[in-house]
């Protein structure tokens, strides 16, 4: 079992299985809370949370997030998510729940614990709990059964306390559900006018004092990034293929093992004649188009030239090519078209096929069944693939040999000349300049380049194309450019900022007039601005093609607009300096289908929210009543 799991650790089953086990540990911890008094992270009432317990929970949460975020996880994200305080809060809550459960005589029996674990799908095989699978999965994830069971016990205890505290508060009325659904699915169309900063640029004056003040406040904007220049040697597998051999036997074995990679799916070539049906066509219009299509279908079935009929009657983009669609495989066409086309025999003509585009008449020109490419056709490709795999080992050995020599004498040009290699040289480049000449735009290359020390060669850097060794040839530290060098940029920025302030003032003045009852159209004529209308906006989708996501930050205000209070009472920022003035144009109520479809889900979600809120309120009350001491020095030792 463990061998199977190691071999298939990347499969969906193993990921889900381990995920379910890990989640229990992430949120319910490992071990108890009593520890050495000298290594205390926190004391909750009379219960100690020691460093060992905290470190275990902290590490598991970090590992969990690292797997979730994969390559994006870094120290900055760790701090941003405030993992150390999340873990502490979680452990404090666990202690409070355990203490209160003890006071209320709430316990978890052995039978309850066993039933809960045995019910977990991850530990079941053929519909029954498998103790062997249970132990193997825990062992694979390095978890002791006693620790897992203690964690599961805490989870069950939590659920019991939660049902006692939160369930009575989770009652939901139909009126609450309907009001939330209305807010969520009701749409509003807004009329709006843009107030652009560029229209105020001519009114702006900038003094030397303005420039100095802005520059001093925004110095970091004018920081020149650190730059380096490097020289490097490349060791690419393609340059060493002449030093390796691949036998016919190896090529055939690869072909037999990976035959699926050379499988060619079934594909067909077809012509079609399309009669377009507009999306909002009436029944009468559809019937008229269908009758016309049927006439042409009769002509095609009677033996008339299909390509010429397509040229004359088809309304599709391939009409000029006689309706020829070329070869295509399954999944490339809309389903009804695909189903009809693949069911035809070569030379056969379909009946009328209805799709979202309209009515089609299809003729099958050719059909190529699914097949595996012949060995001879792919032999050279496989041979080169295997050669490159072997040559990669040679390239690494050559890079290692070069590293050993350059470690003693880090002169790339001397080594390159002696071994027939080319020295690649870059100019000065920053971390953002990945497309600069001779710069390899890969994370590993950039990381190595900016970690170099003068007079030393890098360790071997693995790249997509092979390996490289590099040395620093120039370094320019990061610096803030003096005002004299960026004066033009600072002047533009100050002008935009001042123009933005004038635009905002103008927008605020217009809003005051609108709130007195004047229409946006009347106001726009006076002020010489254009009035536009948004698409219908909802809480779920506040995006507008013209305004983008600008209204997302004001969607709560938009949702509360009424005919008696139609004005958004503040200018909505549109970019760094422009603003939008908005007023309600139309309220579009949700459809009955939307309401009915979402009612059950909304009830469940609202119950969960109310229950969680009640539980959090209860925990907050417990925290106020309980003496909680935090060892800040120990806590701050964690990131």
Domain encompassing residue 328: 266-369
Confidence of residue 13 (pLDDT cuts 50, 70, 90): very low
**Same domain? 270 vs 290:** yes
Q: State the Cα torsion 538-539-544-550 to the nearest 10°.
A: 150
Interval 604-635: pLDDT, tens: 888 888 888 888 888 888 888 889 888 888 88
The confidence score (pLDDT) of residue 70 equals: 67
Confidence of residue 243 (pLDDT cuts 50, 70, 90): very high
CATH of the domain at 133: 1.10.4030.10
**Same domain? 30 vs 163:** yes
Confidence of residue 291 (pLDDT cuts 50, 70, 90): very high
In a domain, 610, yes or no: no
Among 369, 395, 412, the domain boundary falls at: 369
**Same domain? 491 vs 543:** yes
Residue 469 CB partners (closer than 8 Å, separation 6+): 232, 233, 235, 399, 402, 403, 406, 412, 457, 458, 460, 461
Ramachandran area for residue 45 (φ above 0: left; ψ -120 to 50: alpha; else beta)? left
**Same domain? 58 vs 104:** yes
**Same domain? 288 vs 208:** no
**Same domain? 412 vs 353:** no
CA–CA separation, 585 and 533 (whole Å): 8
Among 369, 385, 405, the domain boundary falls at: 369
CA–CA separation, 536 and 538 (whole Å): 7
pTM above 0.75, yes or no: no
Among 350, 369, 388, the domain boundary falls at: 369
Decide if pLDDT at 368 tops 50. Answer: yes
In a domain, 80, yes or no: yes
In 203-308, the DSSP E strands lie at: 223-224, 227-235, 263-264, 267-276
Decide if pLDDT at 27 tops 60. Answer: no
CA atoms within 13 Å, Cβ hemisphere of 294: 6
Interval 331-356: pLDDT, tens: 999 999 999 999 999 999 999 999 99
Joined tokens for residue 126: 């053929």
**Same domain? 364 vs 382:** no
Which phi and psi angles does 638 have, rounded to 5°? -95, 150
In a domain, 501, yes or no: yes
In a domain, 273, yes or no: yes
CA–CA separation, 65 and 69 (whole Å): 6
The confidence score (pLDDT) of residue 71 equals: 66
Decide if pLDDT at 590 tops 90. Answer: no
Which residues partner with 633 through β-bridges?
none
Structural domain count of the chain: 4
In a domain, 25, yes or no: yes
**Same domain? 347 vs 391:** no
**Same domain? 118 vs 26:** yes
In a domain, 41, yes or no: yes
Residue 91 CB partners (closer than 8 Å, separation 6+): 29, 33, 41, 42, 49, 53, 54, 57
Least reliable range by pLDDT among 373-382, 448-457, 626-635: 626-635
**Same domain? 288 vs 152:** no
DSSP 497-555: HHHHHHHHHHHHHHHHHHHTT--HHHHHHHHT--EEEPPPB-SS---BTTTBTGGGGGH
Residue 629 CB partners (closer than 8 Å, separation 6+): 42, 43
**Same domain? 504 vs 573:** yes
The confidence score (pLDDT) of residue 524 equals: 84
Whether residue 61 contacts residue 74, with contact meaning beta carbons closer than 8 Å, is answered with: no
243-248 mean pLDDT:
94
Confidence of residue 103 (pLDDT cuts 50, 70, 90): confident
Least reliable range by pLDDT among 116-120, 184-188, 474-478: 184-188
**Same domain? 309 vs 438:** no
135-140 mean pLDDT:
79
The confidence score (pLDDT) of residue 10 equals: 38
């Amino acid at each position: 079992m463990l061998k199977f799991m190691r071999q298939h650790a990347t499969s969906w089953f193993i990921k889900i299985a381990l995920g379910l086990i890990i989640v229990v540990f992430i949120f319910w911890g490992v071990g108890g809370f009593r520890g050495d008094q000298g290594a205390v992270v926190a004391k909750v009432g009379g219960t100690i949370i020691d460093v060992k317990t905290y470190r275990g929970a902290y590490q598991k949460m970090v590992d969990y997030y690292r797997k979730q975020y994969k390559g994006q996880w870094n120290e900055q994200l760790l701090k941003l998510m405030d993992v150390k305080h999340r873990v502490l809060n979680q452990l404090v809550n666990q202690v409070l729940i355990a203490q209160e459960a003890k006071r209320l005589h709430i316990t978890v029996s052995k039978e309850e614990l066993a039933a809960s674990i045995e019910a977990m799908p991850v530990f079941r095989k053929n519909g029954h709990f498998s103790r062997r699978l249970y132990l193997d999965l825990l062992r694979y994830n390095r978890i002791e059964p006693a620790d897992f069971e203690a964690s599961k016990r805490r989870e069950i205890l939590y659920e019991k306390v939660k049902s006692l505290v939160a369930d009575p508060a989770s009652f939901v009325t139909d009126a609450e559900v309907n009001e939330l659904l209305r807010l969520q699915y009701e749409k509003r169309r807004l009329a709006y006018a843009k107030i652009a900063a560029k229209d105020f640029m001519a009114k702006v004056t900038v003094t030397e004092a303005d420039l100095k003040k802005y520059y001093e406040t925004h110095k970091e904007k004018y920081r020149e990034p650190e730059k380096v220049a490097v020289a490097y040697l490349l060791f690419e597998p393609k340059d060493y293929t002449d030093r390796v051999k691949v036998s016919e036997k190896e090529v055939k074995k690869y072909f037999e093992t990976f035959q699926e990679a050379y499988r060619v799916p079934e594909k067909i070539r077809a012509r079609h004649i399309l009669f377009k049906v507009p999306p909002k066509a009436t029944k009468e219009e559809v019937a008229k188009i269908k009758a016309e299509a049927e006439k042409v279908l009769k002509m095609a079935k009677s033996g008339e030239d299909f390509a010429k009929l397509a040229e004359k009657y088809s309304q599709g983009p391939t009409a000029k090519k006689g309706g020829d669609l070329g070869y295509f495989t399954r999944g490339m066409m809309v389903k009804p078209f695909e189903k009809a086309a693949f069911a035809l025999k070569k030379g056969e003509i379909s009946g009328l096929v209805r799709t979202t585009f309209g009515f089609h008449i299809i003729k099958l020109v050719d059909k190529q069944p699914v097949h595996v490419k012949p060995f001879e056709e792919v032999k050279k490709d496989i041979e080169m693939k295997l050669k490159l795999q072997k040559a990669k080992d040679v390239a690494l050995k050559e890079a290692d040999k070069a590293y050993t020599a350059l470690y003693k004498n880090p002169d790339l040009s001397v080594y390159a000349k002696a071994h027939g290699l080319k020295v690649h040289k870059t100019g000065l480049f920053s971390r953002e300049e990945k497309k600069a000449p001779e710069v390899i735009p890969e994370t590993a290359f950039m990381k190595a380049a900016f970690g170099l020390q003068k007079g030393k060669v890098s360790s071997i850097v693995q790249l997509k194309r092979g390996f490289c060794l590099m040395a620093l040839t120039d370094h320019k530290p990061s610096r803030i450019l003096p005002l004299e060098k960026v004066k033009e940029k600072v002047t533009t920025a100050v002008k935009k900022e001042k123009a933005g302030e004038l635009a905002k003032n103008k927008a605020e003045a217009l809003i005051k007039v609108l709130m007195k009852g004047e229409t946006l159209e009347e106001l726009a004529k006076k002020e010489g601005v254009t009035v536009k209308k948004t698409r219908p906006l909802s809480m779920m989708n506040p995006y507008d093609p013209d305004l983008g996501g600008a209204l997302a930050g004001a969607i709560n205000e938009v949702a509360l607009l009424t005919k008696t209070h139609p004005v958004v009472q503040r200018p909505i920022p549109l970019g760094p300096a422009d603003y939008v003035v908005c007023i309600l144009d139309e309220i579009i109520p949700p459809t009955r289908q939307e309401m009915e479809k979402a009612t059950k889900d909304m009830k469940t979600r609202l119950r969960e929210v109310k229950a969680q809120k009640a539980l959090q309120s209860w925990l907050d009350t417990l925290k106020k009543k309980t003496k909680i001491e935090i060892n800040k020095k120990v806590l701050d030792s964690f990131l």
